[in-house]
Amino acid sequence: MRRIIMFSLVVMTIFGCASRNAMQQPSLGLDLNAQQNKMIKNDIVLLVKATHDVNDLKAYYDEDTIRYDMG
């Protein structure tokens, strides 16, 4: 039983770790819409950019998340 558990853990570790080639995140410092909506609290600056373009979604998440009502 112990060997089965160890084998399962090794297999899950090898195949469970995914490698990603995600796009570089855009610089929001030059994005005027993000600058207008930025929030600053306790010296933390929050900038958000909504992504609705199917090509960008596929590049970031490898899927069209709008298709799954997640976009």
pLDDT tens by residue, 15-59: 776 666 656 666 777 777 778 888 899 999 888 777 778 887 777
The pLDDT confidence band at residue 5, using thresholds 50, 70 and 90, is very high
Higher pLDDT, 70 or 53: 53
18 Cβ contact list (under 8 Å, min separation 6): none
| pTM for the full predicted model | 0.38
| Among 39, 65, 34, 67, residue whose Cα is nearest residue 50 | 34
C-alpha 25/C-alpha 18 separation (Å) is: 19
Long-range pairs for 1-8 at CB < 8 Å and ≥24 separation? none
